């Protein structure tokens, strides 16, 4: 059980690091005035991923699995 908790924490940390890495890369390119569609989409996607990350702990308690529906 402890292994699953540690694995969940590690996975959440890696997903946040991945989103923040892309956020910094897109901001760096936009500061260089490389305002392409790809850089703007990367900025939007990384913003959504970064700012929705604190909502992840509530995902398990808010959604009923399909197997438990009556």
- Cα–Cα distance between 40 and 26 in angstroms, integer? 7
Q: Assess whether pLDDT exceeds 60 at residue 9.
A: yes
- Provide CB contacts within 8 A for 44, sequence distance 6+: none
Provide the residue range defining the domain that includes 39.
16-51
The reply to whether 38 falls in a domain is: yes
- Cα–Cα distance between 11 and 21 in angstroms, integer? 15
Q: Assess whether pLDDT exceeds 70 at residue 16.
A: yes
The reply to whether 21 falls in a domain is: yes
pLDDT at 37: 94
Q: What are phi and psi of 65, to 5 degrees?
A: -60, 150
- Cα–Cα distance between 50 and 20 in angstroms, integer? 6
- For the chain, the domain total comes to 1
Q: Assess whether pLDDT exceeds 60 at residue 68.
A: no
The reply to whether 20 falls in a domain is: yes
- For residue 11, name the pLDDT band (cuts at 50, 70, 90): confident
């Amino acid at each position: 059980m402890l292994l699953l908790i540690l694995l969940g924490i590690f996975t959440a940390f890696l997903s946040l690091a991945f989103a923040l890495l892309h956020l910094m890369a897109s901001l760096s390119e936009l500061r260089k005035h490389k305002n392409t569609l790809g850089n703007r989409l990367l900025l939007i996607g990384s913003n959504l991923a970064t700012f929705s990350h604190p909502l992840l702990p509530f995902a398990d308690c808010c959604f009923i699995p399909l197997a438990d529906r009556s």
